[in-house]
Amino acid sequence: MDWFIDCITKNYVNFSGRARRKEYWMYTLFSIIACFVVIMLDSLLGSNYVLSLIYVLAILLPSYAVTVRRLHDTGNSGWWLLLVFVPFGGIILLIFCLIDSTPGPNQYGKILKDYNFQ
What pLDDT does 94 receive? 95
Going by C-alpha positions, the residue among 60, 86, 82, 57 that lies closest to residue 71 is: 82
- What is the mean predicted confidence (pLDDT) over 36-61? 93
What pLDDT does 118 receive? 42
- What is the mean predicted confidence (pLDDT) over 72-101? 94
What pLDDT does 5 receive? 84
Q: Which residue has the higher pLDDT, 95 or 109?
A: 95
Which conformational region is residue 109 in: left (phi greater than 0), alpha (psi within -120 to 50 degrees), or beta? left
pLDDT band at 103 (very low <50, low <70, confident <90, very high): confident
Going 47 to 53 to 58 to 63, the CA torsion angle's sign is: positive
pLDDT band at 113 (very low <50, low <70, confident <90, very high): low
